[in-house]
Structure 1
Amino acid sequence: MEVINDFLAALLPYTEWVMLFLIIGGGLFLVFYSKLLPYRYFRHAIAITAGKYDDPNDPGEVSHLQALSSAVAATVGLGNISGVAIAIYMGGPGVVFWIWVTALVGMGIKFYSCSLSIMFRGHDSEGGLQGGPMYYITKGMGAKAKPLAVFFCIAGLFGVLPAFTTNQFVQTIMGVVRPDETIALLGDFNWKLGIGIALSILTSFVIFGGLKKIAKVATAIVPFMVLLYLVSVVFIMAMNLGQIGPSLKLIFTEAFNLKTAVQGGFWGLIIIGIRRAVFSNESGVGSAPMYHGQSKTKEPIQEGLVAMLGPFIDTIVVCSLTAIVIILSGSYLDVENNGIVMTLLAFERSLFGFGDILLMVIVSAFALSTLFTYSYYGTKCLSFLTNAKIGGYYNFIYVLSITFAAVASVELVVNLIDLSFALMVIPNMIAVLYLAPRVNHAMKIYFTKLKDGET
């Protein structure tokens, strides 16, 4: 595994320019190109999500809310809990500011990419209606662009593996329950491997049921897990009101600390923020459009507005609260604690010694919902590369990878996902930027109809 990790680590620096120019540069272009219109219709986006404009006769498989819940279930998870901790561990409190910047830009990217997922839907080999980057690349840009779609799908087969979620969930169990210390009945039993196998079996029961079953489970779990986590974090903040101001001040002052000691200096600080924000909300990666492309709607702009809420929920809200708790608890100063262990320490210190147990329960819901939803992405990628029947076999690869990730190092899984996401960004953002004028045209028509009361 060390050889694989060294190989991935050697390739990662070459992706930094990709992340900067396509995510930040391309994203900023889209924000100004849209004239901030999507952001100005934030309340309308909430109304759409609430079902005010749903039409059961529209084409698609799931409602706006189910599509958003499924996409958020795949992003609001351990990336928001341990991903933020890893970012702070690597770059200090200032990295949170760059996570915010990337998330705000990411909202614009999500609007455009998920609008395109409805605008250019296609059909799989069995005639099923499908949406996602591979379809808006081939249908929007033409047959000549198919190599980009193929490249996206190949990178996607690796990028959507549940490596990070599984790895951090196992670390949570090992860190709280400490089975090697508290349960000696099984002798030299490999607990990480055992937990990985159990997760593989549990996940298989849901993912082999298809998109509708995944969406149903995600819609039930996501609101509960987000609410429980937010209540816990808000309680911690309420118990430490005097530390919130200094924590926020530290984020802003360290964000522009040109003498920062993090790896790569100030440039490294920004890159860490971009990577972790992209991992948190997947803006620009192209995974979320695969879910939103299945929404029951004929109006691309509506789905784009719904999708825009994703980065706001999982990064601006959840990541920010996680970061503040980590900073005010002081757990980030313990340099030996990376990933979920740092967040567990913050909760334990802040909630009377049992906060780590509560976080373990919350993390279980986050992890399972993510495991249940991510498999769909890989199935769609393999289906496009082959056909719909063969695509379903990806679930077997997905389930087996859970066991592998359970025993892998956190460095290996982070490098694997970061590299795969960067490779997925290339074809997806090229297509989104190329097709942006088509979205602007549709946006002008939609908002005019909305003002005239025709929508």
Structure 2
Amino acid sequence: MMALVYWLEQGLTPMEEFIRNLETSVDAINGVLWADWVLYILLGTGILFTIWSGFCQYRALTHGSRVIRGDYDRKSDPGAINHFQALSSALSATVGLGNIAGVSVAVALGGPGAVFWMWVVGFVGMALKTTEVTLSMLYRNADPNDEPHGGPMWVAKKGFERWSPKLKPVGAVVGTLFCITLLISAITGGNMFQAWNVAEVTTQYFPTVPRIVSGILMAALVGAVIIGGIKRIGAVAGRLVPFMCVIYLLAGFYVLAIHLGDIPDIFRLIIASAFSPVDAGQSFLGATTGYAFLWGMKRALFSNEAGQGSSPIIHSAAKTDEPVREGIVAGLEPFIDTIVVCTITALVVLASGAWNRPPETMLPNGSTLVVQNPTIAQMGQLPTLTGEGGDQKLVVTDPVAVDTTRLGADRAVFVLVDAPDSQHANRSVPTAITGSVSGSGANSTIVWGPVPAGAQITDKTRVVYQGATPKWTVSATTIPPKVDTEQAISGIWEVNNGVFVVVGGGFDERTGRDRHKITGTVQKVTDAGATVQWDSIEAAVSPQLVGMGVFGNYAGASLTSHAFDRVTPGLGMWIVVLASWLFALSTMISWSYYGEQGVVYITGGHGVFLYKIIYCLMILVATVGVIKTDAQLDAWSALGTGVMLFANIPIMLVFGYQAMRAYHEYIRKLKSGVFHPHRPPKLSDVVEGKDTE
């Protein structure tokens, strides 16, 4: 284990290029998985089953509540755990860092309007959950009772075979494809997303605790539980989930009570922002309505897992002889997860002002953006421009000796000229002219590319830089201490604190603005301030600083904790750190079971122990620095969610009529009094599962 950690830490530099290429591929895949038409299909599927079921959301809130109370539990029913434990186990996967970190990401990037679309997904998600769990219960294998098997893979395998024995291979292939997506999601969203956020928020408040230490502790705790199988998972979840939800919700209600007078305005802002763009503010970069819709959908689907096909796997272990009954119970998940817990997080972030917070300090006077690319040549004389308008060419009078050993595979270089800023009239900005090098040393020849219209040669055009595109970074490596008001909230600068500045550059269609971030990390703290190592932003045209503010870069769970701190300094440290650990552990435990069932389906049960070892090791991978930003993290979690939705929604659409037929038959029996609830058992027995033993 430690050898793997050492290799990752020491091999990070040679891995960076591989990781970058991998991230590019993931972004391209996500571009398809989360295209607008895909989101419309998901939303339409939820609306379809909402109407088809006659608004099953009502049954989940009424009849479902009685079922989990134990009114219909029977010891003789097939299965391994009672309804309450099944719901708790499923909620332990859904109520996780998505509720703390994911909601903050949605609001920070999509604006307040993202919350509205989360509500929409939460509502229709109740119908999706009811449908997919009912389907899995219809096709589950409850023999043996200790470890029942169910989920979309079994629906596909058995469902196609029931249609026709000739379709059995089709069902097997579809089931296998679903399991592959299940394993991807288990490792990314169910594991690495949780581990990264816990390590991030822990380091924020306890800088002396390395991220890898958090990773080792999480891996040990998760491993200790998942080795015990579904009964141990159900027992742990039955105790952990209610406790962590109550603690977190009480803290949220405390914040909202302080901002009680602001709540009506916040709800108006949420609804208005769902249908109109939100302008850029201080730390907020702005968002279009489409961007709010995208982030609301993504984060809600990631959080409540509706339509993803994961929850049916654990619900299939419920002790019941009525498949629809467990489906109705499952409908409570999106309500609790999204409409209750996610809403509390969103209101805290909005009410506290953390989503659009002021800067924590200002850059020193004279700070600007400079090129980070290495210099590989210097011209003796200034080049000239020939031609007119868009037909200008760069002419170099003297030969340029280029150190080609420092060039990349594309042998690209660039120089800077001043050219008119397309975003702002009457302003010129440094702009790159790219060239390609042939030959070497004194025999180097550079073929220069197009020259921007209106370009002007300046003294800085003498310098030849490595690469095809300039990388711009902040000139000031030292920043002053935090202003008093922000220091009272978040304390002084600490090593490893994240910061960012806002720059104006190329237009971003997603946000509807030309705003971007350049992030940095505090490397050293002195009485005079902090030394920052800035990252860079690639752009052919130089971005411009928007103001001189330096903002705290609170990402994911750390933004939620900062929101609590803005109300009561120090509150976020205990509430969010504790909740993050509990939520993440419960999610990783449940998702390990989901992935395990995928392994069982594919291999017949072989390799389960090896899978559990790998699952725990991936917790360490997420905490050694391979993933550095919330944007990278979101890309991986979005990949896991997206591929599962792509695999499961078609299964629901093909076999969903069977779930609806069973659902309406069950409701007919319920209304006619066929089912007779018994006296509710003791609550402690329900929580511990003793009422069905």
Of the candidates 289, 295, 312, which is equivalent to residue 272 of structure 1?
295
Instruction: Give the deviation of 1:374 after TM superposition.
Output: 1.3
1:340 correspondence with 2:543: no
Tell me whether 1:196 sits opposite 2:222 in the alignment: no
The structure-2 alpha-carbon separation of the partners of 1:360 and 1:126, relative to structure 1 and needing over 3 Å to count, comes to: closer
1:128 CA drift (Å): 5.1
**Corresponding residue for residue 139 of structure 1:** 158
- Tell me the SS of whatever aligns to 2:34: helix
Supply the distance in 2 between the matched residues of 1:310 and 1:260 (Cα, whole angstroms). Answer: 34
Q: Does 1:160 align with 2:186?
A: yes
Aligned to 1:224: 243
Structure 1 residue identity aligned to 2:174: L
Which residue of structure 1 lines up, in the alignment, with residue 94 of structure 2? 75
- Confirm or deny: 8 A CA contact 1:124 1:387 kept in the other structure: no
Structure 1, unmatched stretches of 5+, are: 181-190
Quote the residue 2:269 is aligned against. Answer: 250
**Aligned mate of 1:367, from 575, 584, 589:** 584
Equivalent of 2:32 in 9, 14, 35: 14
**Which position in structure 2 is the counterpart of 1:285?**
308
Deviation at 1:33?
1.4
Partner residue, 2:177: 151
Supply the AA of the counterpart residue of 2:68: T
Q: Distance in 2 between matches of 1:90 and 1:66?
A: 35
Deviations 1:44-66 (A, max 9, x none): 11000111001111111111111
Task: State the TM-score, normalizing by the size of structure 2.
Answer: 0.62
User: What are the residue-to-residue correspondences of 1:2-41 with 2, within 5 Å?
Assistant: 2-17=20-35, 19-40=38-59
- Aligned equivalents of 2:572, 2:595: Cα separation in 1: 35
**CA RMSD for the aligned pairs?**
2.0
Q: Who is 1:444 aligned against?
A: 664
1:430 aligned residue:
650
SS at match of 2:317: coil
Tell me if structure 1 keeps the 8 A contact 2:557–2:580. Answer: no
The one-letter amino acid of 1:315's match is: T
Q: Residue in 1 aligned with 2:610? A: 393
Change (3 A) 1:26 1:214: same
Report the Cα distance in structure 2 between the residues aligned to 1:126 and 1:273, rounded to whole angstroms. 39
Tell me how far apart the structure 2 counterparts of residues 126 and 58 of structure 1 sit (CA, whole Å): 10
**Equivalent residue for 1:64?**
83
Letter in 2 for 1:286: G
CA distance in 2, matches of 1:352, 1:264: 29
Secondary structure of the structure 1 residue equivalent to 2:78: coil
Q: Which letter maps to 2:185?
A: G
User: Are the aligned partners of 2:126 and 2:332 in contact in 1 as well (CA < 8 Å)?
Assistant: yes
Counterpart of 1:403 in structure 2 is 620
Aligned CA distance change for structure 1 residues 200 and 37 (closer, same or farther; 3 Å):
closer
* Aligned residue in 2 for 1:356: 573
What's the CA shift for 1:280? 0.6
- In the aligned structure 1, how far is the partner of 2:287 from the partner of 2:144? 47
Aligned counterpart, 1:183: none
Contact 1:326 1:332 in 2 (8 A): yes
Q: Is the 8 A contact 2:78 2:145 kept in 1?
A: no
Distance in 1 (alpha carbons) for counterparts of 2:319 and 2:144:
20
1:114 corresponds, among 124, 133, 150, to: 133
Distance in 1 separating the partners of 2:148 and 2:664: 26
The alpha-carbon deviation at position 134 of structure 1 amounts to 0.5
Q: CA deviation at 1:108?
A: 0.4
Match of 1:303 in 2: 326
After TM superposition, give the deviation of residue 246 of structure 1 in Å. 1.4
Aligned 1:83-98 pairs, distance under 5 A? 83-98=102-117
| Cα distance change, pair 352–304 in 1 and its aligned pair in 2 (3 A) | same
Aligned to 1:238: 257
Q: Percent identity?
A: 35
**Which range moves more in the overlay, 324-333 or 418-427?**
418-427
| In 1: Cα distance, 2:640 partner to 2:116 partner | 24
Deviation at 1:196, TM superposition (A): 1.1
Q: Return closer, same or farther for 1:2/1:293 CA change in 2, 3 Å cut-off.
A: same
> Per the alignment, do residues 124 and 382 of structure 1 end up closer, same or farther by CA in structure 2, a change over 3 Å counting?
farther
Name the SS for the 1:179 alignment partner. coil
User: How many positions carry a matched residue from both structures?
Assistant: 445
Q: Could you tell me how far 1:153 is from its partner in structure 2?
A: 0.5
Shift in Å, 1:381: 0.5
Q: Which residue of 2 aligns with 1:184?
A: none
Which has more helix, going by share of residues? 1
The aligned residue for residue 199 of structure 2 is 170
Paired residue secondary structure (1:160): helix
Q: Which amino acid is 1:174 matched to?
A: T
Query: Residue by residue, what CA displacement relative to the aligned partner does 1:368-422 show, whole Å, maximum 9, x if unpaired?
Result: 2112221001100011111113234211111000001113223333212211211
Structure 2: runs of 5+ lacking an equivalent: 1-18, 162-167, 358-550, 676-693
CA distance in structure 2 between the aligned counterparts of 1:174 and 1:337, rounded to whole angstroms? 12
Of 212-221 and 259-268, deviating more is 259-268
Is residue 313 from structure 1 mapped to residue 333 from structure 2 by the alignment?
Answer: no
Deviations 1:228-247 (A, max 9, x none): 11111001111111111111
Aligned-pair distance for 1:330? 0.4
Residues 354, 439 of structure 1: CA spacing in aligned structure 2 closer, same or farther, 3 A cutoff? closer
**2-structure distance, mates of 1:125, 1:389:** 17
**Structure 2 CA distance, aligned partners of 1:207 and 1:60?**
19
Matches of 1:369 and 1:351, distance apart in 2: 27
How far apart in 1 are the matches of 2:559 and 2:635? 19
Contact in 2 for aligned 1:124/1:383 (Cα 8 Å): no
Greater shift after overlay, 434-443 or 34-43? 34-43
Partner of 2:353: 330
Of the structure 1 ranges 268-277 and 116-125, higher mean CA displacement relative to structure 2 is found in 116-125
Give the SS at the match of 2:623.
helix
- Please state how far the C-alpha of 1:11 moved relative to its aligned partner: 1.7
2:11: which partner in 1? none
2:459 match: none
Shift of 1:38: 4.5
Select the structure with the greater relative contact order (CA < 8 A; seq sep ≥ 6).
1
* TM-score, with structure 1 as normaliser: 0.93
Structure whose CA Rg is larger: 2
Provide the C-alpha distance between the structure 2 equivalents of 1:364 and 1:207, rounded to a whole number of angstroms. 17
- Aligned residue number for residue 185 of structure 1: none
CA drift at 1:260: 6.0
Match of 2:632 in 1: 412
The Cα of 1:105 is off from its aligned counterpart by 0.9
Displacement of 1:26 in angstroms is 1.2
Higher strand share: 2
Inter-partner Cα distance in structure 2 for 1:263 and 1:25: 28
